[in-house]
Amino acid sequence: MIASWRRIPEANRGYIVAMASVAAAAIAVFVLRDFLSRSTFVLFAAPVAIGVFVGVGLLVVHLNGLIRAARADAQRYASQMEEQAMELEETHRALEASASAQLAEAQSLARLGSWEWDIAGDKVIWSDEMYRLYGLEPGSEVIDFARYQSLLHPDDRDQVADVVARAIENLEDFSYDHRVVRADGPVRIFHARGRVIVGPDGTPIRMLGTGQDVTESRRAEAALRNATEYAAKQASAEAAARHLNRVFAQAPVVIAVLKGSDHTFELANASALELLGAADVLGKNVKEVVSDDVLTAFGSLLDNVYTTGEPFVGRELPARFPGGPEAATRYFNFVFQPLSDEAEVYGVLVVATEVTDLVGARIKAEQAQNEAMGASRAKSDFLARMSHELRTPLAAIIGYGELLADGITGPVNEEQKKQLMRIRWSANHLLSIIDEILTLARMEAGKERVDAHDVEVPQLLESVASMAEPLAAAKGLRFNLDLQPDEITVMTDPVKLRQVLLNLISNAVKYTDSGAITLSSHAADGQVHFHVDDTGIGVSPEHIEKIFEPFWQVEQTTTRRAGGTGLGLAVTREFVDLLGGSISVESEVGRGSSFRVTLPRA
């Protein structure tokens, strides 16, 4: 009860007491109205009224005092509040100043500036640090986009314009590196970041961002990258060197590097050590390592390469080295290559390849070839001599046969004449065989020579035709000479070419019973082609390759009937080879054959 009374403010408590006193006096007057006579009432009421008045007066005085005290309190509070507000404002201002100083400090430390770009008004607000980063006095000039562009490195301007345009179009954040040419000279690398701010209608109105000078960190990154790349390159170079060393050590050829005028071994691979029969030669000079023989053979050559700088290449040189089989002479291909830096020759690279086996094989092959050639020559000589020995008596047989047949030595009857004709035919046949054997033998002995000169092809063909026509006519065959209107010449041996064509024509006549033989030629692509076509028995495909082999005939009975030797086409092909040409045949059994000879025109 007392506690709740105390909680009521003092002024209100005064009011409550005054009101309560008036109410108590009024209640007492009302209750006692019947007991009190009018006079008593008046007597009683007057002091009561006075008492009430005095009480109320005292109460009012007290209340006034209370109000004054409260007002004084309020004024004090107000001035305190004002003081506090001023203090707060001061603190706020100090804080603001220190925050922006800190921001500026932080920006300067980070070499980072901030900017804001009013896109529509094209006005850029830069922080002080931003100006400094561009080498300008803070606030010294108004920046717009064009001015900003002008401060960039010329090569980066288009790229920056692109990035900014894309950010505005796509409303996206951006970040990129670009170069700046600072007002005070140096080119610096900046990293820019930005964000587009859109208005209520969604269109871009401003752009905020930062620019940071990252030259040092980018350079450090590049240096790191370079260092990493260099390390990788070095590692791969080392691996390559190791590989090269392995190859060098295991190479199956002798490799050594000799340094200086006394030829000191600087490098020697396993093959070199093996050849020299030494475990270690490095640091020793050639005199200490190789035998006197070798030194005599190669010492002056090495000196020469070292002093002149001219390489030496020697093939199949005999040499004796301590390594390998004793006493045996071995053969080597040597290369002495001068080694020089920019200024002068400092050594000689020696590469030696052993070719003993090769030389041995070659010597054997040469011996075998010489023997074979000797044997072949002996055979050809024998054949040539034999042929010659056979020809002489044969010529006598033919001559005396003719004398007898002509009746010069006395009369001969018809039967004797017939037999003499057979003797003559057989003797002539034998003579042609001997001639062909003689030609082949001469050719194999390499005695056949080409006597080439410019030959008019039409003339040559006409002369061949004049010899061939009687042959064909004797068998009732037509002979055609198909001459081209233009003059063709060929550089060749006319005697051999005539022989080739006559051989082919006489075969054509031999193996054709009816129809025609045609001789023709044409020139194309620097070559002359000669054709001998017939309408004879032809050659089957399985025999076509064999007909050029000596003594080979398709069918004994036919050829014997026709009087062949099996040597004609062999001789023909040898002649064509000798003239630098080629021969081929196309044939169909029962329809005829076509032989083609091709010679180079020049």
The contact set with ligand ADP (CB under 6 A) reads 507-508, 510-511, 534, 536-539, 547, 552-554, 559, 564-570, 593
d(C-alpha 535, C-alpha 197), whole Å: 103
Residue number with CB closer to ligand ADP (68 or 560): 560
CB of 435 to ligand ADP, least distance (A): 12
Q: Which is nearer to ligand ADP, 192 or 537 (CB)?
A: 537
Q: Minimum Å distance from CB 425 to ligand ADP?
A: 15
CB of 381 to ligand ADP, least distance (A): 24
Residue 166 in tokens: 């894309």
DSSP 384-401: HHHHHHHHHHHHHHHHHH
Q: CB 387 → ligand ADP: shortest distance, Å?
A: 17
Specify the residue, 176 or 552, whose C-beta has the smaller distance to ligand ADP. Answer: 552
State the nearest-atom distance from the C-beta of 567 to ligand ADP, in Å: 6
Q: What are phi and psi of 508, to 5 degrees?
A: -55, -45
If the CB atoms of residues 392 and 557 are measured against ligand ADP, the closer one turns out to be 557
Choice between 490 and 576, CB closer to ligand ADP: 576
d(C-alpha 75, C-alpha 20), whole Å: 32
Q: Which two tokens stand for residue 35?
A: 């007991």
| C-alpha distance from residue 87 to each of 74, 91, 97 (Å) | 20, 6, 15
DSSP-assigned beta bridge partners for residue 334: 314, 352
Residue placing its CB nearer to ligand ADP in the complex, 18 or 570: 570
What is the DSSP code string of 321-336?
Answer: -SSSSSS--EEEEEEE
Residue closest to ligand ADP, measured at CB: 564
- For residues 73 and 588, which CB has a smaller minimum distance to ligand ADP in the complex? 588
Minimum distance from residue 531 beta carbon to ligand ADP (Å): 12
Give Cα 442 distance to the centre of its chain: 58
Task: Put residue 410 in one of left, alpha, beta given phi > 0 → left and psi -120 to 50 → alpha.
Answer: left
Q: How many CB atoms lie within 10 A of CB 394?
A: 16
DSSP secondary structure letters along 151-189: HB-GGGHHHHHHHHHHHHHHT--EEEEEEEE-TTS-EEE
Q: Which residues contact 118 (CB under 8 A, 6 or more apart)?
A: 124, 125, 205, 206
Min dist. Cβ of residue 533 to ligand ADP (A): 9
Query: Is the CB of 331 or the CB of 511 nearer to ligand ADP?
Result: 511
- Which one, 114 or 565, has the nearer CB to ligand ADP? 565
- What is the torsional sign of CA 270, 275, 279, 285? negative
5, 71, 73, 519, 588 from 64: Cα distances, Å: 21, 11, 14, 163, 158
Q: In the bound complex, what is the minimum distance in angstroms from residue 586's beta carbon to ligand ADP?
A: 11
Q: Is the Cβ of residue 271 or residue 535 nearer to ligand ADP in the bound state?
A: 535
- The distance of closest approach from Cβ of residue 552 to ligand ADP in the complex, given in angstroms and rounded to an integer, is 6
Closest to ligand ADP by CB, 14 vs 564, is 564
Tell me the CA end-to-end span of the chain in Å, nearest whole number.
151
Q: Minimum Å distance from CB 368 to ligand ADP?
A: 31
Contact 141, 161 (CB under 8 A): no
| Least distance between ligand ADP and beta carbon 549 (Å) | 8
What is the DSSP secondary-structure string of 348-368? EEEEEEE-HHHHHHHHHHHHH
Residue 381 or 549: which CB sits closer to ligand ADP?
549
* Angle at 131 (CA atoms; ends 128, 134), nearest 5 degrees: 150
What is d(CA 164, CA 207) in angstroms, rounded to the nearest whole number?
10
Angle between helices 38-110 and 10-31 (to 10 degrees): 160
Residue 510's CB: how many other CB atoms inside 10 A?
19
